[in-house]
Amino acid sequence: MAEFKLNEGRLQELITKLRDAGYRVVAPVEEEGAFVFKEVTEPGQARLDVLRTARSIKEWFFPRVEPTLRYEFDGSAVRCESGLPESPQKTVIIGCRPCDAASLPMLDTLFDWDYRDEYWFRRREATTVISVACDVPDSYCFCTSVGGSPEGTAGADLLMRRTADGGYLLEPLTEKGRAIIEAGEGVLELASGTEEVLVGEVPQRFALDKVKPWLDQNFEHDYWKEISYKCLSCGICAFVCPTCHCFDIQDEADLERGVRIKSWDSCCFPIFTRHGSGHNPRPTRDTRYRQRVMHKFRYYVDKFGVTACVGCGRCSSSCPIDMNICSVVAGVAELAESSK
Amino acid sequence: MAEKEWTPKIVAFVCNWCTYAGADLAGTSRLKYDVNIRPIKLPCTGRIDPLFIVKAFEQGADGVLVSGCHPGDCHYTSGNYHARRRWIVFSELLRFLGIHEDRVQFAWVSAAEGAKWADLVNEVVAKVRELGPFTAYRELDSAEVVS
Amino acid sequence: MIDELRQKARELLETGEVDLVIGYGEGSDPTRTMPVFIRRPEDCEKLVWNKYCYNNLTSYLTWPELKTRGKRAVVCKGCDAKAVVVLSKERQIDRKNVIVIGMACEGVGEPLLSKCEFCDVRTPKNCDIVIGPEITPLSKEKQFEDVEQLEARDPADRWEFWREQFSRCIKCYACRQACPLCYCTQCIVERNQPQWVPTSAHPRGNLAWNVMRAMHLAGRCIGCGECERVCPSNIPLMLANKKLAQVVKEQFGYESGYDIDEPLPMASFMPDDSDELFK
Amino acid sequence: MSADIYAPYLMRLEEIVDEAPGIRTLKLAFEDEAAGENFSFRAGQFGLYSVFGEGECTFCIASSPTRKGYIECSFQQVGRVTRALRSLEVGDTLGFRGPYGNWFPLEQMRGKNIIFIGMGIGLAPVRCVIWNCLDLRADFRDITIVVGSRNVELLVYKREIRQWEEAADITLVKTVDPGGDTPDWDGKVGFVPTVVEQIAPSPDNAIAIVCGPPIGIKFTLVSLEKLGFSPDNVYMTLENKMKCGLGKCGRCNVGNVYVCKDGPVFTAAELKSLPQEF
């Protein structure tokens, strides 16, 4: 497929072109010292050099708070209105990393499992994803251990690679990606084929094929207690994770009207599974942390055929007590190796 | 919904023993005062959690009045002393957040002070009326989180 | 210092005086540390001490699963040790069953965390063992400068400031989980009859949560700043905490985490407390 | 059907039956009659019932799929939503999403002896399949129903139990825990597992359906195994906490199953192979 070139210093021009073409442009933008995916409203805001934003792109498809129903009371009757967005705004996310992009098809399987969650899919359809290959990955990165790559294309409509001269090489991967190239006409030029592309290396930290067989056999193992005794049971890991998708549904209302709201939840919270009776199937930190790892590396694989981790390293880098999921899973792989 | 002319909605958290009795006295004494107040009776000012006030604003109150027995007169000996410390701190927190001090007002009204209650309500209502509807808080509701 | 710490910890475990030492261990990265729970003397080599020892380990002291065991030792910076004072005053720990190992500390973080600029407990107080040299305390004179700066802005500005800050809250509750003084077994936000605090991370729910959190720490917060450090949205939570600390100091003459005998300010009163607020 | 999988049907509360202290059965009719006509489900499936302003709550559909035009649910008041459900009056509107999940294998049950065991409020999902079988009585051989509760007062569906007792083609055994009986109690006294062993239903060509509190299920399973029932022929329902009912929200995930989609009906053999997190 033909590749295109965006020369150094012309990113803003491309963004302007995309906005002129009717796209809402979302990119890593600084917010109080952290980077998050936000709509670009001013020149120079988009920071494609940011390796790891505080939160993943999932919130643009699966917002942290989302009404599914609005209703009004009228005596004993209730009038309801669905919260499903009719036609979400045409959006382009530019500057996510291949790991984040890879989380999208991974979550498609869940949101399309028998019941198709249009809240997710309507935004998916309205959104074009432009990922940027990682030229300088860091020690938290482990995409290559979970089947990804710093220049992976899964989930992306267009892949950008940094070039040695400070520009980017653009490779459209889908129809939506080609539409971006069209919209960028005048700013983009056809690549010469001689550009030197910068892509970093992410060393493989564990052998994924060793992990699941061990998990299958070791639901009960001292390892779980050993690694999780210090977990604070906060929800950071789940909330910053591109693939964590558990949510809660709650009503909020006054005497006249109300909303039913879907909001992010975490399996690390003690009340996540607590029954009305008080019985809690996962009463302790180790059982909850085990669920987090098991769900990603075992159950999701059984159910949907993919590992629910893309190796972005966010949960590790933002964990208050420095729990590192890569080390935890590498530990599993080691145990698997040594138990042979 | 049809736009009605705005009148302040004020929730008054009052203690059972002094202020509620004082308000009762105002009534039996046929004192006239503004009708914009919705009193909620609690055993003691010590029972009033700051969250009650937050909830009142969440549910559309434009102002809140907290009132109980004068210091030294608490039916439970010291409930209002504890409450006083709490309100000193809480009112500072609200002010720090940028909420005008007249949005939440505090008073001591005894069972004998029917007239003080009537005047107090008029004063509170007048001040909140001057501030206008608490749209800043209500707008929190409509703010969209993402997309 | 690290040798002395390891030595002390080993002694405590060897003599059976404690059966658990909660300390800092090597992190996944040279700029981080990870809490470690040490039960065997030979594991004391895992303890580390450096300027990346951020966590306030006293938050582990109130964990139900660690509460019933025997005596524990906990490694503390001066600021962390203040939490022990409060926990013990609030009867959450039996002080006799906790050995507090205070580490002389010239501040953590690179650059230094802002809390360290006004630290008067660089040599920890109220500890059972203090390791390291005596370090001159820093002046706290300007500790409320940031609070005052915000206060100087007009109310509408302050509202806008906090509205924006709180709107970024994602309700991960890391602030609560990291706080040594948020030890309730069931937080008010987890109670739903009635649901006092909306669980959703929308601006209204976030304001209720953050107001409530600050208020519950009034007169208690010891200023370790863990809530703010762990916040994935970088919300300046300490500003609110410090504001309330300032009010409590000015109004009731109380500073949290120093005196073991002084009554807790929000659980006590003086008949002559200010009546200015009340009509 | 609406594209919004979270959209509830509006239901009208038609009838309230107080079954036992804290336990109530609600009969609900679809406000949109056409939706009611088109609505079908299978015994064992569940739904999310909602009180507007309070939230959603998961229960099985307690009425039989053979009875059209309405659904019933039975619940015990424990939390916010069940409390709100209890405060509803006839004529009030509530929400319902469903039917969700799998069902009891009626096809495999045809021509067999069926043993129903319901303990406490656990009788609700069993009741659904009992009526389903009774409405198709000729398709099944012997039907035995064992109902148990802590005491006489807490026994649910008292009217129906009497009906089943009086029916000539059903063996009904009712029991209350020791100490839970009253002077005029005409049933057995003893824990359900013990009673099951006493009446010793034959495992040949038989299927057992068991619902109740976890501890009751655990010991009843032991008894059934003693009697020779294969874990493949014992069915039960899992009652995990759920929010979406659609296999999305992750809350009911246990091992590689989502209880709301792969369950709630499981065989004892299937449950044994899962992590014991329920």
Which pLDDT tens digit goes with each residue over D50-78? 999 999 999 999 999 988 889 999 999 99
| β-bridge pairing A158-163 and A168-172 | antiparallel
What torsion, rounded to 10 degrees, do the Cα atoms A217, A223, A229, A235 define? -50
Length of chain B measured in residues: 147
Q: What is the pLDDT of residues B13-46, one digit of tens each?
A: 999 999 999 999 999 999 999 999 999 999 999 9
pLDDT at A145: 96
| Distance between A195 CA and the closest CA of chain C, angstroms | 35
> Which residue, among A246, A301, A241, has the nearest Cα to A269 in the 3D structure?
A246
Kindly determine whether residue A299 and residue D54, on different chains, have CB atoms separated by under 8 Å: no
Whether residue B8 contacts residue B125, with contact meaning beta carbons closer than 8 Å, is answered with yes
Chain B residues touching chain A at CB-CB below 8 Å? 59-60, 145-147
Contact at CB, B92 and C204, closer than 8 angstroms: no
Query: Residue B1 — pLDDT band, cuts 50, 70, 90?
Result: very low
Chain B touching partners, 3 or more CB pairs below 8 A? A, C
Reported as a single tens digit per residue, the pLDDT across A48-69 is 999 999 999 999 999 999 999 9
Q: Mark whether A19 and A147 lie in a shared domain.
A: yes
Q: Return the HEC string of A298-326.
A: HHHHHHHCCCCCCCCCHHHHHCCCCCCHH
Of A176, A198, A220, which closes a domain? A198
For A15, phi then psi, to 5°, come to -60, -45
Distance from C-alpha of A102 to C-alpha of A107, rounded to nearest angstrom: 9
Give the integer Cα–Cα distance in Å for A257 and B34.
28
> C133 and chain B: CB distance < 8 Å anywhere?
no
A216/A190 same-domain check = no
What does residue C146 show for φ and ψ, rounded to 5 degrees? -65, -35
C224, burial (CB in 10 Å: exposed 0-12, middle 13-18, buried 19+):
buried
Q: Does A245 lie in the same domain as A173?
A: no
Nearest to A240 among C190, C201, C232 (CB): C232
**Residue A28 near residue A53, CB atoms below 8 Å:** yes
User: B33 vs B25, B38, B108, C224, CA distance in Å?
Assistant: 13, 12, 17, 49
**Token pair of B144 as six digits:** 């969209």
Domains of chain B: 11-129 (3.40.50)
Question: pLDDT digit string (tens) for B60-104?
Answer: 999 999 999 999 999 999 999 999 999 999 999 999 999 999 999
Q: What is the pLDDT of residue D42?
A: 94
CB contact under 8 A, A254 and B59: yes
* Pair (A126, A233) in one structural domain: no
Task: Please state, as a whole number, how many other Cβ atoms lie within 10 Å of the Cβ of residue A14.
Answer: 22
H-assigned helices in chain A: 11-20, 98-111, 118-126, 175-183, 208-217, 222-228, 236-240, 285-294, 300-304, 314-318, 325-338
- Considering only CB atoms, which chain B residues are within 8 Å of A59? 146
Alpha-carbon torsion, ordered A146, A152, A156, A162, to 10 deg = 140
Token representation of residue C47? 């303890």
DSSP A260: E
For A54, the closest of C32, C176, C233 (CB atoms) is C233
CB atoms near residue D262 (< 10 Å): 21
A227 within domain boundaries: yes
Please list the residues that pair with D170 across neighbouring strands. D143
Average pLDDT for chain A: 94
* Burial D132-146, CB ≥16 within 10 A → b, else e: bbbeeeeebeebbbb
Q: In angstroms, rounded to a whole number, what is the distance separating the alpha carbons of residues B41 and A159? A: 64
Judge whether A340 is closer than 8 Å to chain D, CB to CB: no
Q: How confident is the model at residue A2 (pLDDT cuts 50, 70, 90)?
A: confident
Q: Choose, out of A248, A273, A302, the residue to mutate when testing the contact with D (most D CBs < 10 Å).
A: A273
| Residue D85 C-alpha, separation from nearest chain C C-alpha, in angstroms | 14
- Is it the case that residue B3 has pLDDT exceeding 80? no
Which residues span the domain enclosing A75? 4-198
**C69 Cβ contact list (under 8 Å, min separation 6):** C19, C20
How many domains are there within chain A? 2
Report if residue A54 sits inside a domain: yes
Q: In this structure, what DSSP letter does residue A185 have?
A: B
CA C120 to chain centre: 15
Q: Does C78 touch chain B (CB under 8 A)?
A: no
Q: By a Cβ cutoff of 8 Å, what residues of chain A touch chain C?
A: 31-34, 54-55, 64-65, 139-140, 229-230, 232-236, 238-240, 248, 250, 252, 261, 263-264, 266, 269, 271, 284-285, 316, 318, 320-324, 327
Distance of CA D43 to the CA centre of its chain: 9
- Is A66 an interface residue toward B (CB < 8 Å)? yes
Residue C80 backbone phi and psi in degrees, to 5: -65, -40
The two tokens of residue C50 are: 């450096």
Query: Is residue A192 domain-resident?
Result: yes
For the record, the structure tokens of A101 come out as 């992009």
Nearest Cα of chain C lies from the Cα of B71 at a distance, in angstroms, of 7
**Do A34 and C233 lie within an 8 Å CB cutoff?**
yes
Task: Give me the percent of chain D exceeding a pLDDT of 70.
Answer: 100
D78 touches chain A (CB under 8 A): yes
Residue whose tokens read 């319902």? D96
Model pLDDT, residue D73:
95
Find, among A137, A150, A169, the residue nearest to A50 by Cα. A137
C279 with B70: CB under 8 angstroms? no
**Structural domain includes residue A203:** no
Name chain A contacts of D255, Cβ cutoff 8 Å: 294, 299
**Cα-Cα end-to-end distance for chain B:** 26
User: To 10 degrees, the CA torsion angle through A275, A281, A287, A292?
Assistant: -60
Q: Can you count the helices (H) and strands (E) in chain A?
A: 11, 13
Domains detected in chain D:
9-100 (2.40.30.10), 106-237 (3.40.50.80)
Question: From the centroid of its chain, how far is CA B6?
Answer: 18
Strands A4-6 and A189-190 turn out to be antiparallel
Chain B residues within an 8 Å CB radius of C274 = 88
Contact between D155 and D147 under an 8 Å Cβ cutoff? The reply is: yes
Closest chain A CA to residue D50: A251
- Domain positions in chain C: 2-131, 145-267
Ranges of residues in chain D with a pLDDT under 70 are 1
Q: Is the minimum CB–CB distance between C266 and chain B shorter than 8 Å?
A: yes
Angle at A298 between CA A232 and CA A236, to 5 degrees: 25
Q: Which parts of chain C register pLDDT below 50?
A: none
Query: Which residue is it, tokens 């969250």?
Result: B51
D83 neighbourhood in chain C, CB within 8 Å: 193
- Please tell me whether residues A244 and A308 are part of one structural domain: yes
Counting beta carbons within 10 angstroms of the beta carbon of residue A13, is it exposed (0 to 12), middle (13 to 18) or buried (19 or more)?
middle
**What subunits make at least 3 CB pairs under 8 angstroms with C?**
A, B, D
Rounded Cα gap, residues C214 and A214, in angstroms? 45
When pLDDT is cut at 50, 70 and 90, the band that residue B146 belongs to is very low
How many Cβ atoms from other residues are within 10 Å of residue C192's Cβ?
17
Listed in sequence order, the DSSP H helices in A112-165 are 118-126
B144: nearest Cα among C49, A60, C119, A300: A60
The span from the CA of D221 to the CA of D227, in Å, is 10
Mark whether A188 and A49 lie in a shared domain.
Answer: yes
- The reply to whether residue A65 touches residue C200, judged by beta carbons under 8 angstroms, is yes
Looking at the complex, does the CB of residue C161 fall below 8 Å from at least one CB of chain B? yes
SS3 A258: strand
Give a yes or no: residue A307 inside a domain. yes
Element (H, E) at D37: helix D33-38
Give the sign of the dihedral formed by CA A132, CA A134, CA A135, CA A137: positive
Quick one: closest CA in A to C180, which residue? A232
Residue B38 Cα, gap to closest chain A Cα (Å): 15
Q: Does A245 touch chain D (CB under 8 A)?
A: yes
pLDDT of residue A124: 97
H or E segment and range at residue B126: helix B114-131
Q: Give the integer Cα–Cα distance in Å for D127 and D61.
A: 9
Last residue of one domain, picked from the residues A146, A179, A198: A198
Average pLDDT over residues A322-331: 95
Cβ-based contacts of C205 with chain A (< 8 Å): 65, 252
Confidence (pLDDT) at A49 = 94
User: Do A80 and D10 make contact, defined as CB atoms within 8 angstroms?
Assistant: yes
